Structures are given as structure tokens and as C-alpha cells.
């Protein structure tokens, strides 16, 4: 490996980095950009609010199924060929999503888009780990991470502008020039790997598809369908538990399982995956709820909401610049701890934000979060893959990226559920005080120059209570996300410093 690293010029290494970063950003932006345009899509495609959510669910499920299979696909196709197939497929189905005239078409094209986009992020990690020697990998991951952290923030911001000023179809059409550039750079700079004849484990593949698809749909649809009060959701849960247990037990005792579950015997890899799930659940779950509150109850436009969230990504990118010099002097585990603590504090700052809040009150906690994200993602990605054998890098990268998506799905599901339920609790608590026997209610009506006898008064009062109830619920979400990040801290102590870390940090 070291001889190969030395034969690649510095310029070639950074051109490879830009290439894989570009392809990864395409996928991440497309995961988040759609959310702000769902309302406009629903009107154009003749879908209800509930139906249009399948545009998001279909992509998440198909991507989640294919992401862990990245190493399997690399062995069959070779990494360069696989990267080209994925980018071309993503390009074609992005165009078809933009041309969709019905919900059925859109959902199918989004499924295909997710299939081709799934491997772009893990492939980029794998290529970087294989291109740079150990002493340069923290720096390479930091540069790559700048683009990866900017992408989820750029998505809603860009989507907000497109939704407000153009047609929602352009959120798919903008992929075209980016994909074409990524194809050209892949052809020029990415080297091919040897292809293998692989016997497909069809039983393992079927169990994997069932396990991941039922889990993802359960998480995405649970709150909408009423969780275990729905027979559909209950069936998904039972199917996931049964299929998951069979998949894990069979995968552990079957040498040629579709996924190499024995990678989790590597303590650093297993601990990093757990840290990633807990961290992404805390931060991305929070980030999903924030625009719902801003646009739904604070009267911010989609574009303005995106603008207020953009400094988070900028702060993350800036923080990543400092990771490389810090890693020369500080143990990566301490940098991970610092990242979690800073992010948790940023989440905590969102609690208590008033309904009529100044935009800065919504921006500076995001900046704090971004700094923490910058200090977390690069070290944990480095630690996760650093002790894996070179032959396991592609598969390890695929499963690691899957856990990032899993954490995001779990966090989103939990935070949206908490927001919904706590808003109802706050609503009932406040509505009980709205009665003619309450002297405080009469004093408040006089202050507002309203009359208790006016039939329109109650309707106006209800309109005022609803936003306030959701703000109270948002406080609870902030506290929960803060605590969830603190729960991740003990798993840092499971990480052990790789033997070559001290050497790699000295150069």
C-alpha cells in the first residue's frame, strides 16, 4: 500500500479528493433539498400531504438497502466502473424526477435515484482511504468533510430559493451539470480496481432487504400512522425484529454472507458506528424539526429558513480546517469528545427560544452546533476505518455510511414524534385555562380588546395557542437532543488509539 501511495503525486491525490467529494455532495444535497419543496410538489402532482411524504420515504428506503452493499458491488464491478454507473444512473433518474407528472412516477424514479445514489458517499470514503497514506488521512478526511458538511445545509438553502423563485422541478435539474462534471473527473482521475467473480448470497440479500426496508418505513411512517395503534406499523415492527434476528444470526455463522458482520469485531469500528448513530440522531433529528417550526409557526419563508441554517454548515467547514493541526497534538478521541460537547451545548441553546424570536437567536446556536459537527465527523470517520484491513475498506465504508443514515432516520422519527406529542400536551394544558370562570382569561381578553361573548374570539385565541404549544414542544426536542448526545460520550472510551496513530500525527 505504501508503495502505491508514493507513486501518486500530491496534485493527483487532491484531484481525486475533489472528484469523490463532488460525487458525494450530489447525493447528500438531494437527500435534503426535496423536503422544502414537498408542498409545491403535492399541488403539482395532485397528492395529499400524507401521500407526498412517500417521495422522501422511497428514496431513504432504497438508498438504505443499497448503501451497505457498496463493498459487494465494488468487488463485482470495480470502483471506477461502479462510480460511473452510479453517477450516470443518478443523472438519468434526476431528470426523470423533474419530468414526473404523477405521484406514482415520482416515487418510482426516486426509488431508482436512491439505488444509484446510495454508494456515492461510502465510495468516496473508500477511495480516499485507499489513496492517502496513514499520515495524510486526517487532512484528506478534513478536506472531504468540508464538502460533506456543507451539503446538508446547502440542500435546504438551495431548495428554499428554488421553491420560492423557480419551479420545484429545478431541484432535480440542477443535478445535471454537477453529474456531468463528476463523470468527466471520474474518467480522468479515478483508477480502477480488480473485478472479482462473486457468488451472490441470495438468502442473505433477501433478509437484508426485508430488514432494512421494514425498519426504514417503520421509522419514517410511524408518527404519521400512529405507531403501534396501526396494524401496518405493528406488522413492520414484527417483521423487522424477526428478519433482523435471522439475518444477524445467519450472517455471523455463514462465511460468505452478503455482509461481513465480523467487521464489528474491530472495537474501533463498532464503537465508531454506535457513536455515529447516536450523534446523527441527536443533531440531524434536531435539524429536521427546526425548519418545521420556523416555516410553520414563526412565519419564515423557505429561503429565509435556509439562510438562517446556512451558517451551521459554514461553521462546520471552518472547524474542520482546525482538525488537522489539532490531531498532531491531541488524541482523536479527545477531539471527538470536544465535538460532542460543543454540539450538545448548541442543541441546549435552542431551548427557550421565544416564538417572536430575533433571527440571530436561531442562527448562533446553529453556529455552535456546526463547530461541534466539524470536530466530530472527521475524527470519528478516521477512527472507524483506520484499523480495518485494506480489503475491508469498501464494505466498511458502506456500512458506516448506512449507520449515518440510520441515525438520521431514528433521530428524525423520534424528534418529530416528541414534537407532535408534546405540542398536544402543551395545547391541552393551555386550553384548560380558556374558560369564562378564569379571571386571568378575562384580564387577558381586556388587554387584547376582545370580548368573551364574541364568537370569533375563541377562534383567534386558538390561533395564538397553537404556535406557542409547538414552541414549548420544540424546547422539549432541544433538551432531548442535548441528552441524546451526552449518552454517546461513554462509547468514546471504547475506542482505542491505533498503533500507527502517533506516527501518523507527527508528520
CB 419 within 8 A of CB 474: yes
Look at residues 454, 417, 423 and name the one whose alpha carbon lies nearest to residue 436: 454
Q: CATH number of the domain that 118 lies in?
A: 1.20.1250.20
pLDDT at residue 221 above 60?
yes
Look at residues 384, 411, 409, 414 and name the one whose alpha carbon lies nearest to residue 399: 384
Give, in order, the Cα–Cα distances in Å from 455 to each of 70, 221, 451, 452.
62, 38, 9, 8
pLDDT at residue 257 above 80?
yes
Q: Which residues contact 333 (CB under 8 A, 6 or more apart)?
A: 379, 383, 492, 493, 495, 497
Look at residues 26, 360, 346, 390 and name the one whose alpha carbon lies nearest to residue 182: 26
492 is written with which cell numbers? Answer: 468514546
Report the pLDDT value the prediction gives residue 505, as an integer from 0 to 100. Answer: 32
Q: Choose one of 257, 285, 300: the last residue of a domain.
A: 257
CA Rg, the chain, in Å?
Answer: 24
> Same structural domain for residues 185 and 209?
no
Rounded-to-integer distance, Cα 378 and Cα 492, Å: 14
HSE-CB of 191 using CA atoms within 13 angstroms:
13
Q: Is 266 helix (H, G, I), strand (E, B) or coil?
A: coil
Q: Three-state SS across 351-414?
A: CCCCCCCCHHHHHHHHHHHHHHHHHHHHHHHHHHHHCCCHHHHHHHHHHHHHHHHHHHHHHHHH
> Same structural domain for residues 161 and 59?
yes
pLDDT at residue 162 above 80?
no
Rounded-to-integer distance, Cα 296 and Cα 463, Å: 12
How many domains does the chain divide into?
3
> Same structural domain for residues 187 and 234?
no
Rounded-to-integer distance, Cα 146 and Cα 353, Å: 29
> Same structural domain for residues 457 and 414?
yes
Report the pLDDT value the prediction gives residue 468, as an integer from 0 to 100. Answer: 85
> Same structural domain for residues 133 and 222?
no
Chain segment 21-50, per-residue pLDDT in tens: 888 888 888 777 777 777 788 888 988 867
Residue environment code for 4-27, b if the CB has 16+ CB neighbours within 10 A, otherwise e: eeeeeeeeebeebbbbbbbbbbbb
Average pLDDT over residues 486-496: 94
> Same structural domain for residues 149 and 234?
no
Look at residues 74, 29, 67, 35 and name the one whose alpha carbon lies nearest to residue 53: 35
pLDDT band at 507 (very low <50, low <70, confident <90, very high): very low
pLDDT at residue 146 above 90?
no
> Same structural domain for residues 453 and 306?
yes
Look at residues 141, 128, 28, 54 and name the one whose alpha carbon lies nearest to residue 382: 141
Q: Which residues contact 85 (CB under 8 A, 6 or more apart)?
A: 77, 116
> Same structural domain for residues 91 and 2?
yes
> Same structural domain for residues 210 and 144?
no
> Same structural domain for residues 421 and 305?
yes
Chain segment 51-95, per-residue pLDDT in tens: 887 888 788 889 989 999 999 999 999 999 999 999 999 999 999
Average pLDDT over residues 439-461: 69
Rounded-to-integer distance, Cα 42 and Cα 39, Å: 5
Q: Is the dihedral of CA 352, 355, 361, 366 positive or negative?
A: positive
176 is written with which cell numbers? Answer: 445535471
Its domain, for residue 167, covers: 1-199
Of all residues in the chain, what percent are helix, strand and coil, respectively (each to 5)?
Answer: 85, 0, 15
Q: Choose one of 199, 219, 240: the last residue of a domain.
A: 199
Report the pLDDT value the prediction gives residue 153, as an integer from 0 to 100. Answer: 66
Q: Which residue has the cell 478516521?
A: 382
End-to-end CA, the chain: 18
Confidence (pTM)? 0.84
pLDDT at residue 1 above 60?
no
Amino acid at each position: 500500500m505504501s508503495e502505491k501511495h508514493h507513486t501518486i503525486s500530491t496534485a493527483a491525490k487532491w484531484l481525486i479528493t475533489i472528484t469523490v467529494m463532488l460525487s458525494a455532495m450530489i447525493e447528500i444535497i438531494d437527500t435534503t433539498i426535496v423536503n422544502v419543496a414537498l408542498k409545491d410538489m403535492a399541488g403539482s402532482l395532485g397528492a395529499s400531504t400524507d401521500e407526498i411524504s412517500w417521495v422522501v420515504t422511497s428514496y431513504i428506503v432504497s438508498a438504505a438497502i443499497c448503501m451497505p452493499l457498496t463493498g459487494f458491488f465494488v468487488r463485482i464491478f470495480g470502483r471506477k466502473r461502479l462510480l460511473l454507473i452510479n453517477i450516470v444512473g443518478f443523472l438519468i433518474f434526476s431528470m426523470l424526477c423533474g419530468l414526473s407528472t404523477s405521484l406514482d412516477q415520482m416515487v418510482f424514479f426516486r426509488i431508482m435515484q436512491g439505488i444509484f445514489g446510495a454508494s456515492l458517499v461510502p465510495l468516496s470514503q473508500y477511495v480516499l482511504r485507499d489513496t492517502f497514506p496513514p499520515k495524510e488521512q486526517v487532512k484528506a478526511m478534513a478536506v472531504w468533510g468540508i464538502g460533506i458538511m456543507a451539503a446538508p445545509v446547502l440542500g435546504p438553502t438551495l431548495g428554499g430559493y428554488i421553491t420560492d423563485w423557480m419551479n420545484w422541478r429545478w431541484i432535480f435539474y440542477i443535478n445535471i451539470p454537477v453529474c456531468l462534471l463528476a463523470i468527466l473527473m471520474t474518467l480522468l482521475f479515478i483508477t480502477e480496481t480488480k473485478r472479482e467473480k462473486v457468488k451472490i448470497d441470495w438468502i442473505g440479500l433477501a433478509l437484508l432487504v426485508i430488514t432494512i426496508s421494514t425498519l426504514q418505513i417503520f421509522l419514517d411512517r410511524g408518527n404519521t400512522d400512529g405507531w403501534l395503534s396501526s396494524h401496518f406499523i405493528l406488522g413492520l415492527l414484527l417483521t423487522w425484529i424477526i428478519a433482523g434476528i435471522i439475518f444477524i444470526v445467519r450472517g455471523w455463522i455463514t462465511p460468505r454472507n452478503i455482509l461481513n458482520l465480523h467487521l464489528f469485531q474491530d472495537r474501533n469500528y463498532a464503537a465508531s458506528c454506535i457513536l455515529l448513530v447516536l450523534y446523527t440522531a441527536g443533531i440531524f433529528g434536531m435539524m429536521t424539526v427546526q425548519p418545521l417550526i420556523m416555516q410553520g409557526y414563526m412565519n419564515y419563508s423557505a429561503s429565509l429558513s435556509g439562510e438562517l441554517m446556512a451558517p451551521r454548515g459554514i461553521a462546520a467547514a471552518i472547524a474542520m480546517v482546525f482538525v488537522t493541526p489539532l490531531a498532531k497534538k491531541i488524541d482523536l478521541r479527545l477531539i471527538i469528545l470536544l465535538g460532542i460537547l460543543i454540539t450538545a451545548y448548541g442543541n441546549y441553546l435552542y431551548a427557550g427560544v421565544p416564538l417572536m424570536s430575533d433571527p440571530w437567536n436561531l442562527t448562533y446556536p446553529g453556529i455552535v452546533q456546526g463547530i461541534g459537527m466539524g470536530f466530530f465527523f472527521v475524527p470519528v470517520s478516521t477512527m472507524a476505518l483506520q484499523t480495518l484491513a485494506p480489503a475491508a475498506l469498501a464494505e466498511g465504508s458502506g456500512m458506516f455510511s448506512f449507520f449515518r443514515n440510520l441515525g438520521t432516520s431514528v433521530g428524525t422519527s423520534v424528534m418529530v414524534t416528541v414534537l407532535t406529542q408534546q405540542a398536544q400536551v402543551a395545547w391541552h394544558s393551555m386550553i384548560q385555562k380558556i374558560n369564562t370562570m378564569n379571571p386571568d382569561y378575562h384580564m387577558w381578553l381586556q388587554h387584547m380588546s376582545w370580548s368573551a361573548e364574541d364568537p370569533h374570539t375563541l377562534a383567534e385565541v386558538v390561533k395564538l395557542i397553537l404556535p406557542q404549544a409547538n414552541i414549548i414542544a420544540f424546547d422539549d426536542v432541544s433538551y432531548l437532543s442535548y441528552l441524546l448526545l451526552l449518552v454517546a460520550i461513554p462509547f468514546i472510551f471504547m475506542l482505542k488509539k491505533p498503533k500507527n496513530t502517533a506516527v501518523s500525527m507527527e508528520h
